[in-house]
Structure 1
Amino acid sequence: MVSDMQCYSNFTEFLLLGFSDLHYNHQMSIFMFFCSAYIFTLLGNGLIIITVTQNSHLHTPMYFFLMNLSFLEVCAITATVPKAMQSFMFERKSISVLGCAFQMLSFILMGASECLFLAVMAFDRYMAICNPLRYMTVMSHKMCFQLTSVSWVVGCFVSFGVTGSTFSVPCCNSNHILHFFCDITPVLNLACVNTFKNELSVFIMCTLVVVFPFLAILCSYINILYSINLIHSLEGRHKAFSTCGSHLVSVILFYGTAIIIHFRLGSQGSTDNDRMIALVYCVLIPAINPLIYSLRNKEMKQSLKKRLRYKS
């Protein structure tokens, strides 16, 4: 990929302007939001990882995937937010071309892998509710490891493909990126040639990694709802669906913003809108996911309370 990065012939670095076009008070508010969300993400997801790891009652496929999802959230926000906060604190807003490519690569890797992890988690809930007698046989330790590995490997392929396609165009218009991280569209907007082919390849890869997992999730929940409808008691229905509630909220938040931003690729949308949407999926979602999975899950709440009481 490095050998194909045409931007090298024109620039050695980019300037991440972030929110420098906004009023100072607005910039400080956004900085405090970044800082609070980052700290909360690290603490919340870190606590989930430690709790699942050290509590033997949570050594099940569902919590194994939740632990991996928490790790992904930490990596995703770390790929973008610290650099953005640095640009708020210091006058130097530059990032090397290699650094920009690595940031994009890392963020897309985490995003693509999360798409697949959410689909895997939906499949896990499908097996638990629709095929409970076969659940432990199908969702063995080996199967969980294989599904996790596939998610990471596919994420790697997608991230290298998208990043390579994005950085293969000559960037000669400017090296100013009006964004707080190296996202696909802001970098492609710097090109001085027609980027239709690059945008198309990126769009196809993003579509594959977003749409197919989403369809898998949709099919899983259609079967889950059908199975729950066959349960006669109201309590039984509530108990069956309660294990899906957190995951469903997370899917709606993640795929809602992912579909909006990635299907805008190549469009001449508002920069302000793009940055606001990016704030949601880069900063807000990783911060609130620990709340979603801890507050809506009885076992997780009990384990977290025990751990916090033990610490105190």
Structure 2
Amino acid sequence: MTDENEHPERDLKGRRFYRAEQEAAFTDKGTPDTPQTRHPAYRLAFRDTDFLLREELRPVRFQLELLKPEMLLEEAGVGSTLVMYGSARIPAPDKVDELLASATDENRAVAERLAEKAKYYQVAYDLAKLVSDKAIIQEGKRQFVICSGGGPSIMEAANKGASDAGSESIGLNIVLPHEQAPNPYVTPYLSFQFHYFALRKMHFLLRAKAVAVFPGGFGTLDEFLELLTLIQTGKMKPIPILLFGKDFWSRVVDFDALAEEGTINKADLNLFRWCENADEAWGHIAAFYKL
């Protein structure tokens, strides 16, 4: 009998074409140095960063940004997520004194309002830890894995709660003109960086089985309202949407007025549930899924 290790080309199950990484290795060690091979045109297309960044390659970059997190989350055994949206400006409770001490007369009122919301950092932490402690696994995949935007404040609280429960968590960061980095509690191999907001928002919801929304600004509003729109229009099946901070949200968005004006149905106000603490939020999730 012929040894397949001696003649791998005779293996019926073997590949007939080299993998991309093998081809790349061939070019690294076996390409002669000539004017032709030194020119960018000779680079393998998938290793040519300048080529990949061309304007015409935007559809390819879209696809890559869709595929990479999807493939890595699947390989990591993430079945579903609890997504947590919220402000990047609300201080942690232990940072309140520092915030107030640095406030000027001009911005003191704003600093005091942010300080009042520090309690939501703790609530976000409590919810993430409570859910992570449950360590729910179904069909071999982890359920309700904590997922945040990977940044500071409410996002940090979410990842920290999961970390303190000994669980992994996801961070979906976005490239911005100013310098930033993921918070230190995101699981390194579940920390992703996006160029396109649209693809980032898609990944927030692809695996989401519940979403917790804390007080926030334009970004949080954008994510929250898009989620409501997707469910209201039937593009996405209903999931628990947990809205924290009734005083805050009722002040910045007059939901009842939208219904009274007829621009949404009164029943649309039932798409989300008001919450103020972690137990209340988990109660809504557990009731929805009959856990």
Fold shared by both chains (TM-score > 0.5) = no
Q: Which has the larger radius of gyration?
A: 2
Higher strand share: 2
Higher helix share: 1
TM-score of Structure 1 vs Structure 2, range by shorter chain: under 0.3
User: TM-score, normalised to structure 2's length?
Assistant: 0.25
